[in-house]
Amino acid sequence: MPAFFSDNMVLQQGVPVPVRGWAAPDEKVAVEFAGQRKETAADGAGKWQVRLDPLTVTASPSEMQCRRTERSRDPERAGRRRLAGLGAVQHGDACAERGERRSRNGGSRPSRHPVLHVEHDLASSPKDDCAGKWVTCEPKSVGPFSAVAYFFARELHRKYKLPMGIINSSVGASSCQAWTPAEVLTADKTLPQLADVALENYTSWKTYLAYRNGVYDHSSYADTGISPECQVWAKPDFGDADWKDFKAPGNIEAQGMAIDGAVWFRKTVEVPAEWAGQALTLSLGPISDNDVTFMNGARVGATENNWREWVFRNYSVPGKLVKSGRNVIAVRIFNRIGNGGFYPVYPAPLRLAKDAEHAVILSGMWEMQGRTRRKAPRRCRGPLPSVYSVPAAFVQRDDRALCQVSAAGLHLVSGRGQRGCARNSTTRSFRP
């Protein structure tokens, strides 16, 4: 049976409830729940479905059993702690996925609303199932729960006194086109169109990442490390007066350097006297692609993206490197292909911080010097969408697997990945 039918699930009350699964072709199946017994036979492809009569509200857990009547006397337990109440499906980006522990007014005693956390995946064609499991909302487990789903469920529970279940299939940083059906995109040429990628190359999250990474590895520069003559660029006494100005955060290409390869950035900051000798945290936001970061000539961190996106840099600066007054931060960024720099742009400022309340803001003008690469090893045929933005890939994952579920509630797509394209963003609710 699909992952949806498992322990702690909440079924929608007051409407017929579809229950489905797989068996051998033509095999007979019986489903027993809440005093009902429904029988059917699998079709030639091994798929079967029954519909339970509308359920009445109950807060008492029950067990559903599915029996393959001709092959086994032992029932397949489809899940314990099944309640009849209100179910809701939630899709969306980081606004929907953001954890309850990062929100305000969550309260110390959360209601025990089960949530089905759908694992991140995508699909080039509709799927019959999606990986995930139901988790009961308790103080020890509430932290990673979607705050939107949590407060939505809590409010309805307080108002209607019904058990609540949430299906959360949101994906942080996803774009609206990934949640939009293919036929809607192709019907409006002003919207992002389907990716020029063979279907077999994005049958899953893992498959697409492997394909995309392979294409870019073949078409990009390899980072061979810091050239000996550039080592001095990290030193605090190096003269950078002839370097170009660069506004961070931002990408190199948008500021006049359409290159691939190594680019150095330097920032001189004034550190309060009372911070001298104290450990600090250097937060540079997301960077594309690889970086090596220095404080007063000493290396404090390095990260390789390996074609990941939104990889944030947060480095610890030892107290022995922190001086009163003038300090110099140097960052070597290696842009393998496409847009590079302090990119993608994130709204939180770059900062050198003593704690949450005391920080020197680093956003603004830096000095920049590039080591130009004029030609990539092999021209890439065009930028490939990120794993979060493959058109129609998330809706194809969910539509067949989740939209057959009887639910009443929230369907949210906020589209923060659509900055500058407000018409592509949407927030909508539904109630069948």
Kindly report, residue by residue over 347-395, the tens digit of the pLDDT: 999 999 999 999 999 999 999 998 655 444 555 666 789 888 899 888 8
Mean pLDDT (the chain, rounded) = 83
pLDDT of 247 > 90? The answer is yes
Q: Which helix H or strand E contains 187, and what residues bound it?
A: helix 182-187
pLDDT of 49 > 70? The answer is yes
**What span, in angstroms and rounded, lies between the C-alpha atoms of 169 and 149?**
11
**For range 118-147, the mean pLDDT:** 83
* pLDDT score for 429: 42
Pick from 265, 415, 266: nearest CA to 340: 265
Q: Using DSSP, state whether 203 is helix, strand or coil.
A: coil
> Greatest CA separation found in the chain?
83
Q: Using DSSP, state whether 129 is helix, strand or coil.
A: coil
pLDDT of 33 > 50? The answer is yes
* pLDDT score for 430: 39
**For range 293-307, the mean pLDDT:** 97
228-373 placed in CATH 2.60.120.260: yes
Higher-confidence residue of 32 and 58: namely 32
**What span, in angstroms and rounded, lies between the C-alpha atoms of 329 and 318?**
13
DSSP state of 6: S
Most confident of 91-95, 161-165, 277-281, 374-378: 277-281
pLDDT of 2 > 50? The answer is yes
Q: For residue 75, what are the CA distances in angstroms to 98, 147, 172, 232, 294?
A: 39, 37, 39, 72, 62
* pLDDT score for 232: 96
Higher-confidence residue of 404 and 170: namely 170
Q: Which helix H or strand E contains 372, and what residues bound it?
A: strand 364-373
Domain borders along the chain are 10-178+393-430, 228-373
Pick from 308, 257, 268: nearest CA to 287: 308
* pLDDT score for 400: 65
* pLDDT score for 404: 64
* pLDDT score for 321: 98
Question: Are 30 and 38 within 8 A, CB to CB?
Answer: yes
Most confident of 13-17, 169-173, 248-252: 248-252
Neighbour-count burial of 34, counting CB atoms closer than 10 A to its CB (0-12 exposed, 13-18 middle, 19+ buried): middle
Q: How confident is the model at residue 41 (pLDDT cuts 50, 70, 90)?
A: very high
Instruction: Look at 91-95, 138-142, 280-284 and tell me which has the smallest mean pLDDT.
Output: 91-95
Instruction: Look at 267-276, 308-317, 350-359, 415-424 and tell me which has the smallest mean pLDDT.
Output: 415-424
Q: Omega before 344 cis (within 30°)? A: yes
Q: Copy the structure tokens of residue 324.
A: 């009163």
* pLDDT score for 71: 56
Percent of the chain with pLDDT over 70: 79
pLDDT tens per residue across span 76-114: 555 454 455 555 544 455 444 455 444 455 444 445 677
* pLDDT score for 374: 46
**For range 12-36, the mean pLDDT:** 91
Q: Which helix H or strand E contains 157, and what residues bound it?
A: helix 147-160
What type of residue sits at position 136?
T
Higher-confidence residue of 421 and 432: namely 421
**For range 223-237, the mean pLDDT:** 94
**For range 296-302, the mean pLDDT:** 98
Q: Omega before 236 cis (within 30°)? A: no
* pLDDT score for 432: 38
Q: How confident is the model at residue 401 (pLDDT cuts 50, 70, 90)?
A: low
Q: How confident is the model at residue 403 (pLDDT cuts 50, 70, 90)?
A: low
* pLDDT score for 151: 84
